[in-house]
Chain A
Amino acid sequence: MAGLSFDVDTGVSDKEANAAFKKQLNKVYGWYTGGFFIFIVVLAILEQMGMSRGAIGLVFLLATVALYAGIGVMSRTNDAAEYYVAGRRVPAVYNGMATGADWMSAASFIGMAGTLYLTGYGGLAFIMGWTGGYCLVALFLAPYLRKFGQFTIPDFLGARYEGNLARFVGILIAILVSFVYVVAQIYGVGLITTRLSGLAFEVGVFVGLGGILVCSFLGGMRAVTWTQVAQYIILIIAYMIPVVWLSVKQTGVPVPQAVYGFQLQKVTEQEKKLLDDPKEKEVIAIFKAQSDALAEKLKDVPAALKADKEAAAKKIEDLKAANAPVAEVQAAEKALAALPKDDAAAKDTWTKAKAAADARARPLAGMPRHAQQYAGDPNGDAKAQKTYDESRRNFLALVFCLMVGTAALPHILMRYYTTPSVKEARQSVTWSLFFIFLLYFTAPALAVLVKYEVFNVLVGTPFDKLPAWVSAWSKVDPSLLAVSDINKDGIFQLGEMRIGGDIIVLATPEIAGLPYVISGMVAAGGLAAALSTADGLLLTIANALSHDLYYKMIDPNAPTARRVMISKILLLVVAVLAAYVASLKVADILFLVSAAFSLAAAGFFPALVLGIFWKRATKWGAVLGMLSGVIVTFYYMATTQPWMRGLFNVTSPVADNIWWGIQPISAGIFGVPLGFAVIIIVSLLTPAPKREIQELVELVRYPNIVPAKA
């Protein structure tokens, strides 16, 4: 990495300097990619020579975090333009890569293929939603925000909607959205660090955090941008290699994206067989019987608990009377002690156990048929029709929320301030989506290939002949993968496996028969995805506080150095706070991520788009529109989502609060139209914005109009 420098010579024209800078970047990252491959090869050789798995994991963890920290140290800066927007000279391609890494979180890298494996067509809502949103970014936001040319999203709101009120609402929404999202990322960092190094989860969280901080703390947007490019390169290589290998193994073709349609056909045929398979039905019947027994107990909890306790006590006495071996008596005593303590605990335990048994007492281990669009049947009875309609409505609503949310996440929009020109901002969106596309286009293929492997290699195999990765992973974490011979026939049935989505990506190298070094690389890729997103988010939060709240609202005369210093301190505080929240392992991380999208969509999208496209939009319209959008979205979640209901102590039945059968994950579907409606109505009722504001709108629309005072 010698000769790496992110400074440009001054004294030549901007255009020439930018071209020279881009050339230098090509060279640096070319060497870097080559170096990464050599690193993998060296580790692979060491593995053959007997290096242990733990050591390989640790080397990956330390080497990548040290690399990111190194880039952070090299790009350290105290200059405001460098710190906030990387000096506004990031070429379109590199901004695209950085946005790609910024965008693709642990959820995309690790969770996505697993979700697709478990839900089939339904999961494609995430694929479409998280890519199609960039059309909205490109058409409605990126070029105009770049032309506006400040530092943050609240900056735009403050300037366009006359003053600090709109800015302040913007700050609140930006922090709410980003904080929710960053907690989920840090959680992901902790999970992967733990897996790579065997450290405790809480320690893992803080080690990962160190990597994040060195980078964004020292160099702000500048360091984050160049690190994110490096992280993108690692994560895309790590994602592709195992999938391509698995594809070669199954089909002989190294382009999984082109051929998995045929694998999908085979999976669909196999699904038909499994649905009729008597052995699978046997397993389902056993779970059904368990569920029924529990339902019986739940009808009269006190009596059932009493009966259980008496039965357990009687067994101990019988064993003692029969002079049974001590071990058996002790086991029986343990069983008695393990029974729920009181009626409330019994009800809780049994309800959970019943839900678990119900979940497994379904055909295909609870997975819908992979290629089937929507649940239910439009030509079936009334119930099937209703299921079909709601399933389709929820799918489309989720796509909508994810798309609009994508176009409203402040840490993504902020990236388009960093390009040298409006022209490059437009091209940069193309590159962003292209680099994101590479991964999203592959994830559905991976899901189908793994499913093919499970259906054709695992199902029907005797338990003692299952591939080694099955037992290896069920030892690592039983919540990710657990197999047990439910119907005692010695043969593996699909219903006898419980699988967590996250394992799909992590286990693919082993499923494909690759050496452990590739598994280490995949984990490092997941770490890169989580770290890069966390970096961008932390920076957004710290900037909202230091630039928008402190500099623009509290002390407009603050010198640059102090602003940057305050931003750095806040970054540290926010990061530690987020790590603390993540280490509590708050329930339902996936829900938090989706909630961030719905909230961002309802809060920012209407105000930003109308601010650019409708001169008549006024301050009060925007403020009330943003607030009402966020509030209605939040309200809907709070009354319908189990975890939020618990948090706010909502007791009325969920069915009373559900509107048109929409799931809480898509709450933004109500907030976004409401936000638009409120902005339009209130704007028409209030006087038109001042002349200067109308001129600002002209300014962002035409690339060549320069502001009156720069």
Chain B
Amino acid sequence: MQVSENHQRYWQKNLRITAILLAIWFFVTYVIGFFARDLNFTFFGWPFSFWVASQGSLVVYVVIIWYYARYMNKLDQEHGVAEEE
């Protein structure tokens, strides 16, 4: 088993998407959380930051994981590293 250049590019892309998604995760959770008191405008009845903590962030989390699975499963194919089924 030899790690080719192809493998390394695959791993770089994986690290990049992981970092991007993690940044989104961090923003939704901690940045909005930190400024929760200031983000108090009404959003369909909820104060905005209350809505984010109770629904918005959850939706973002599901989308992050869904997107990662889709992206990586495609990346496996593109770089020919998908496991045989």
Q: Give the interface of A toward B (CB within 8 A).
A: 14-15, 121, 124, 127-128, 131-132, 134-135, 138-140, 143, 257, 259-265, 371, 373-374, 378, 388, 392, 395-396, 399-400, 403, 420-423, 426-427, 429-430, 433-434, 437, 440-441, 444, 695, 698-699, 701-706, 708
Contacts and interface: CB of A to CB of B under 8 A. Distances in A.
Given A139-B18, A701-B11, A703-B82, A429 B54 contact: no
Contacts of A121: 36, 50, 53
Nearest to A432: B65
Given A373-B36, A433-B65, A132 B25 contact: yes
Interface centre among B36, B49, B50 (most CB of A within 10 A): B50
B49 A373 contact: yes
Contacts of A437: 58-59, 61-62
Interface string B11-41: 1001000100110010001100110110010
A703 B76 contact: yes
Top 9 A-B pairs ranked by shortest CB distance? A261-B45, A426-B69, A373-B36, A261-B46, A124-B53, A444-B54, A262-B45, A138-B65, A704-B81
B83 interface: yes
Contacts of B85: 14-15, 420-421
Nearest to B46: A261
Given A124-B54, A131-B58, A374-B36, A430 B83 contact: no
A261 B43 contact: yes
A91 to B, nearest CB: 13
Given A139-B21, A396-B34, A423 B61 contact: no
12 contacts: A124-B50, A127-B53, A135-B61, A138-B68, A139-B21, A371-B50, A392-B36, A422-B83, A433-B65, A444-B54, A701-B11, A704-B81
Nearest to A374: B37
B67 to A, nearest CB: 9
Given A128-B58, A392-B33, A437-B59, 4 more contacts: A374-B36, A399-B29, A702-B3, A702-B7
Contacts of A399: 29-30, 33
Interface in B60-76: 61-62, 64-66, 68-69, 72-73, 76
Contacts of B78: none
A693 B43 CA distance: 52
Nearest to A16: B85
Interface of B: 1, 3, 7, 10-11, 14, 18, 21-22, 25, 29-30, 33-34, 36-37, 40, 42-47, 49-51, 53-55, 57-59, 61-62, 64-66, 68-69, 72-73, 76, 80-85
Interface centre among A699, A703, A705 (most CB of B within 10 A): A703
Contacts of A134: 61, 65
Contacts of A260: 45
A440 B43 contact: no
A685 to B, nearest CB: 26
Given A121-B50, A373-B49, A698-B1, A396 B37 contact: no
Nearest to B3: A698
A138 B21 CA distance: 11
Given A132-B57, A138-B68, A423 B45 contact: no
A128 B7 contact: no
A703 B22 contact: no
B50 A704 contact: no
Contact of B45 (A265, A378, A429): A265
B62 A373 contact: no
A132 B18 contact: no
A695 B65 contact: no
Contacts of A400: 30
B14 to A, nearest CB: 8
B83 A128 contact: no
A430 B62 contact: yes
B1 A699 contact: yes
Contact of A128 (B29, B34, B47, B51): B29
A62 to B, nearest CB: 36
A555 B45 CA distance: 63
B52 to A, nearest CB: 9
A366 B49 CA distance: 23
Contacts of A708: 1
Contacts of B34: 392, 396
A702 B64 CA distance: 21
A508 to B, nearest CB: 18
A311 to B, nearest CB: 51
Contacts of A403: 29
Contacts of B80: 704
Contacts of A140: 18
A427 to B, nearest CB: 5
Contacts of B54: 124, 127, 441, 444
A128 B53 contact: yes
Contacts of A257: 55
A203 to B, nearest CB: 39
B47 A371 contact: yes
B51 to A, nearest CB: 7
Given A261-B51, A373-B37, A429 B1 contact: no
B57 A138 contact: no
Nearest to A257: B55
Nearest to B29: A132
Contact of A395 (B33, B43, B73, B82): B33
B19 to A, nearest CB: 9
Interface centre among B34, B36, B40 (most CB of A within 10 A): B36
A430 B3 contact: no
A138 B43 CA distance: 30
A392 B11 CA distance: 37
A143 B72 contact: yes
Given A261-B45, A429-B69, A434-B62, A704 B84 contact: yes
Contacts of B82: 423, 703-704
Contacts of B7: 698, 702
Interface centre among A128, A143, A263, A420 (most CB of B within 10 A): A128
Nearest to B15: A613
B40 A373 contact: yes
A695 B33 CA distance: 41
B64 A135 contact: yes
B83 A704 contact: yes
B45 to A, nearest CB: 3
Nearest to A146: B83
Contacts of B37: 373-374, 378, 388, 392
Contacts of B1: 695, 698-699, 705-706, 708
A442 to B, nearest CB: 10
B73 A264 contact: no
Contacts of B50: 121, 124, 264, 371, 373
A135 B21 contact: yes
